């Protein structure tokens, strides 16, 4: 016997409205199902209930969701394990109308589940960040941490159903489209082999073209600084949201109030590696989310992401685009080039805090100054398993008790690559003692050939070893 759960939980109700605002069907509330009733042959604890909040059918997939505000890492881990276990159980069952009814799907919504061939889970924690809690990755389950959830809410507020590709892409699901790729040949301007940013940035082909924004929206992903690491724990609060409601509203008023309006400047995007150009077809861009990454001009593009605006000007809307296509094929290298281009452009328009620049300076920008390497040590150490995970207060975690910026200066003697190379060439007893000390402390013996990556790796290992020693001594007082 199953009975519907009252829709009184504020957080669950908020989540249901968000998914519906993205243009998805969301069945909520679900039935209060006891596992022994759903699976009589299974070994289940007396009174154990199914841990699901939402069923979201989409094409041949049913998204099974759970949302929680639990703020204790241990409690959250247990809830997550239980959710995964229940998802595995339900995925193995035959999906008949009786099955969906048992979960709480009303008769009028059963038709939405007729084509479901697989289940994909999503787990939302609205209180904790990725490095606040160790949640084991699992195939077929996407986890949305606090920052992810805040971003979804902001997207739902500003672009509503046009944010659907962003949510689905996080779960490995693509929107079905009649057209698999854009082919841009008419009035296409191509400039080959250009340098688009200073420093170690590979050559790129640069394209300029005019296109309807509605051809781009499903494929466009915004390159957002606050999705990258930052040494400030307040990065998410200090940094403006990627899409500002007031700015979008003003632009939409212009689009609605002025016939044949067109923004006078182009947006800047980076094309993914699977885009290509040929004489026959021109520029080919796959219509998959993320094949276009918006570096500058996201408000101009997403001002068209409004049903009212689309009804008014879909047939004649045009946007100028400057597209960078790096000749490099390695996705990691392209990401580094994107980061350098993004930082250079946005530094001239909006001040980028030094805490953010330091955090990405080595991994994305290739900078090897002492502070950049020290920041990389902290970022990587925070991601390690065990007692050091999430120990430093950065954008990765809201619980880290040690301020990352206070550690950077202390790390300078260990991460100053130029001085380490110079020490390898010095003679005398003092230099010999320093070299021996570095060998004893970090195992760094070949100073003259040490690379930036070598220094980051051994410094991280040495700092972790030190912190584990402190932990063994003060285990009962350890903050995490």
Domain ranges of the chain: 10-169, 181-355, 368-477
Indicate whether 236 pLDDT > 50: no
Indicate whether 5 pLDDT > 80: no
Average pLDDT, integer, range 262-283 = 89
pLDDT of residue 224: 60
Give the pair of three-digit tokens for residue 406. Answer: 């206070």
Count of C-beta atoms within a 10 Å radius of residue 117 = 9
pLDDT band (50, 70, 90) for residue 344: low
55-111 tens-digit pLDDT: 999 999 999 999 999 999 999 999 999 999 999 999 999 999 999 999 999 999 999
Indicate whether 233 pLDDT > 70: no
Average pLDDT, integer, range 357-363 = 60
Indicate whether 139 pLDDT > 80: yes
Domain at 10-169: CATH architecture: 3-Layer(aba) Sandwich (3.40)
pLDDT band (50, 70, 90) for residue 440: confident
- Return the SS3 of 123: strand
Q: Highest-confidence range of 121-130, 257-266, 382-391, by mean pLDDT?
A: 121-130
Relative to beta strand 118-125, strand 141-144 is parallel
What does the chain come to in residues? Answer: 480
* Nearest Cα residue to 169 out of 277, 22, 321, 340: 22
Please spell the DSSP secondary structure of 252-270, one letter per residue: HHHHHHSTT---SS-EEEE
Average pLDDT, integer, range 272-299 = 89
302-320 tens-digit pLDDT: 999 999 999 999 889 999 9
Average pLDDT, integer, range 397-423 = 81
List of residues 6+ apart from 18 with CB closer than 8 A: 152, 153, 156
Q: Which residue has the tokens 């082999």?
A: 193
Give the pair of three-digit tokens for residue 131. Answer: 């490095």
Strands (E) located in 212-278: 220-222, 267-271, 276-278
Alpha-carbon distances of 130 from 53, 222, 395, rounded to whole Å: 21, 21, 10
Average pLDDT, integer, range 196-215 = 83
pTM of the entire structure? 0.77
Give the pair of three-digit tokens for residue 243. Answer: 């899409």
Indicate whether 226 pLDDT > 70: no
Average pLDDT, integer, range 339-347 = 67
DSSP classification of residue 241: P
């Amino acid at each position: 016997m199953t009975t519907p759960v009252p829709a009184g939980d504020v957080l669950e109700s908020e989540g249901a409205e968000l998914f519906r605002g993205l243009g998805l069907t969301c069945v909520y509330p679900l039935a209060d199902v006891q596992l022994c009733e759903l699976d009589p042959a299974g070994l289940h604890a007396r009174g154990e209930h199914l841990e699901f909040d939402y069923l979201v059918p989409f094409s041949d997939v049913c998204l099974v969701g759970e949302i929680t505000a639990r703020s204790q890492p241990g409690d959250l881990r247990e809830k997550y394990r239980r959710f995964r276990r229940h998802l595995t159980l339900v995925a193995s069952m035959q999906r008949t109308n009786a099955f969906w009814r048992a979960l709480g799907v009303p008769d009028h919504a059963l038709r939405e589940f007729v084509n479901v061939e697989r289940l994909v889970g999503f787990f939302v924690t609205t209180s904790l960040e990725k490095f606040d809690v160790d949640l084991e990755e699992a195939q077929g389950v996407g986890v949305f941490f606090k920052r992810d959830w805040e971003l979804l809410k902001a997207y739902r507020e500003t672009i509503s159903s046009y944010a659907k590709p962003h949510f689905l892409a996080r779960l490995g699901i693509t929107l079905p489209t009649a057209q698999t790729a854009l082919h841009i040949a008419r009035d296409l301007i191509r400039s080959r082999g250009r340098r688009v940013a200073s420093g170690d940035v590979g050559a790129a082909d640069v394209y300029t073209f005019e296109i309807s924004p509605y051809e781009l929206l499903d494929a466009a992903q915004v390159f957002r600084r606050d999705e990258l690491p930052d040494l400030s724990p307040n990065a998410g609060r200090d940094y403006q949201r990627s899409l500002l409601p007031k700015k979008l509203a003003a632009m939409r008023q212009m689009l609605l109030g002025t016939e044949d309006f067109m923004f006078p400047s182009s947006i800047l995007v980076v094309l993914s590696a699977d885009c290509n150009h040929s004489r026959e077809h021109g520029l080919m861009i796959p219509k998959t989310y993320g094949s276009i990454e918006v570096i500058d001009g996201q408000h101009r593009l997403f001002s068209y992401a409004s049903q009212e605006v689309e009804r008014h000007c879909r047939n004649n809307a045009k946007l100028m685009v400057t597209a960078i296509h790096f000749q490099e094929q390695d996705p990691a290298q392209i990401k580094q080039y994107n980061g350098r281009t993004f930082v250079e452009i946005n530094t001239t328009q909006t001040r980028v805090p030094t805490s953010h620049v330091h955090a990405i300076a080595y991994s994305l920008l290739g900078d090897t100054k002492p502070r950049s390497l020290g920041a990389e040590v902290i970022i990587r150490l925070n991601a390690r398993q065990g007692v050091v995970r999430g120990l430093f207060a950065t954008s990765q975690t809201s619980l880290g008790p040690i301020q990352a910026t206070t550690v950077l200066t202390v790390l300078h003697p260990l991460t100053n690559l130029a001085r380490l190379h110079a020490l390898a060439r010095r003679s005398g007893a003092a230099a010999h003692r320093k070299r021996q000390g570095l060998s004893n402390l970090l195992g760094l013996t070949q100073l003259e050939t040490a690379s930036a990556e070598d220094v980051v790796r051994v410094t991280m290992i040495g700092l972790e070893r030190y912190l584990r020693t402190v932990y063994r001594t003060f285990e009962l007082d350890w903050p995490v």
